A and B are shown apart, each in its own frame.
Chain A
Amino acid sequence: MTLPKTLPDPNDSADALAAVLALRQLADELEARAVYAALRDGWSWSQIAEALGVSKQAAHRRLSHLQTTAKG
């Protein structure tokens, strides 16, 4: 990842908001892939939740479908 020289001009709302949307989508995908890999490597939900900075219940509720994928 290369660091930006400048952030989008906040006055250019369209470009700044499009960047936020793209980043959110990328973050969601990155989270799913990382949790999938962690489950495949034998991490527990407690460990995953701790690493994500959320409660175990919250992590399991949102990402438990990846357990089946990782086992498959």
Chain B
Amino acid sequence: MLRSLSRYVKDARTLTQLCSRAEEIARGHGHVKPGSEHFVLAALGLADKTASGAFRHLSLTEAAFLGALASQHETALASIGVTRPAASADPSARALVPPKGSLYEAGPSGQSVVQRLAESRGARKGRELLGADVLLGVAQETHTSAARAFRALGISAERMVDAASVALAEHAARAGAA
């Protein structure tokens, strides 16, 4: 009972950390509300290193993922004949975003990720919430910016699930050995 309560508190702390970091990343990119792509980037920074481990198994870097996000945005604009104007440094993208409201609000794809993470509690069978769980959640998406970016990098949902599962198993082995 005490262990269950302690895990619940730990999961809540991890989720808060993910939400807060995803929002910071989104605002840095000039978005008010974080989408699932920002949750992926936030998960890469978690101390458990399972998301970054899964990326490593996919031979994928954070820079490559960011590049694919930007590239699919440019491609989508190009399909309607729009070329993005040269980036202006002044003011920064962050300065164009309205200040944070009193209530936390994610974008629709970000909300779905948070909901999937909350619902994954049963499937995790008592295991704590980890960064790779974000990737498992995003693997269920088809048409979001994150899903399109992963597809452009040649990473299918199946490969993503496999890599995340391996990273989670490695984390469990490390925890067992400690």
Contact = CB atoms under 8 A, between A and B. Distances in A.
Interface residues of B, number: 24
Interface residues of A, number: 26
A33 B95 CA distance: 10
Interface in A13-67: 14-15, 17-19, 21-23, 25-26, 29-30, 32-33, 36, 62, 65-66
A36 B82 CA distance: 22
A8 B77 CA distance: 10
A26 B163 CA distance: 33
Given A33-B96, A36-B96, A69-B96, A15 B76 contact: yes
Given A33-B88, A36-B91, A69-B91, A23 B96 contact: no
A37 to B, nearest CB: 10
Contact of B76 (A3, A19, A30, A62): A19
A4 interface: yes
Interface in B130-177: 143, 145, 148
A66 B31 CA distance: 15
A2 interface: yes
B79 A15 contact: yes
A1 B98 CA distance: 28
Pick the 7 closest A-B CB pairs, nearest first: A4-B81, A22-B76, A32-B96, A18-B76, A65-B98, A19-B76, A69-B95
Interface of B: 30-31, 72-73, 76-77, 79-85, 88, 91, 93, 95-99, 143, 145, 148
